[in-house]
Amino acid sequence: MNITLRPIGRGGRYAALLNGRVLAQGHTPIFSAARQLKREGVSDDVILTVAHEGSPITSMVITVGKAAALTVVERDDRGLTFENYRPHPSQDAPASVAVASQTAMASRLDAIPFQTENAFSDDHVLV
């Protein structure tokens, strides 16, 4: 399977496309695209080739299973490194749990006082 990377705006974000279909977008689109392919039933041993849009050069060759198991993390002591992917806990939670936690967070944010008018006195900041 040939994955094409297309830049999205600024900031190192890319879309990963398969035959023109966007599989994933973000800073690690190859790995996210592999996880999407796994969800769609693609076998772990299927080989992915990756190239940037408009370039004939293959920049990566990896299996769906290996790519789906990886992510990129920036560490203070090592810089950017490949590490094992661990989904965020809310990604695996049932929808009702995720909604409940988002509601709880919104309640906590509502309790934070924000100064929005007359905020330019010496001791206030406009938010």
Please count the structural domains in the chain: 1
Q: Give the residue numbers spanning the domain of 14.
A: 2-68
Residue 101 lies in a domain: no
Task: Assign 65 to helix, strand or coil.
Answer: helix
- What pLDDT sits at residue 97? 44
The verdict on residue 21 lying in a domain is yes
Has residue 27 been placed in a domain? Answer: yes
Domain annotation covers residue 95: no
* More confident site: 21 or 110: 21
* CB neighbour list of residue 115: distance below 8 Å, 6 or more residues apart: 124, 125, 126, 127
Residue 123 in any domain: the answer is no
Q: Give the pLDDT band (50/70/90) at residue 105.
A: very low
Please tell me the distance from the alpha carbon of residue 50 to that of residue 94, in angstroms, as a whole number.
Answer: 33
> Which residues does 44 contact at the CB level (< 8 Å), separation at least 6?
38, 63, 64, 65, 66, 68
Cβ neighbors of 105 (< 8 A, separation 6 or more) are none
Tens digit of each residue's pLDDT (9 = 90 or more) over 11-62? 889 999 999 999 999 999 999 999 999 999 999 999 999 999 999 999 999 9
Q: Does any domain span residue 26?
A: yes
For residues 32 and 85, give the distance between their C-alpha atoms in angstroms, rounded to a whole number: 10
For the stretch 49-67, pLDDT in tens is 999 999 999 999 999 999 9
Residue 84 lies in a domain: no
How many helices (H) and strands (E) the chain has is answered by 4, 7
Residue 29 lies in a domain: yes
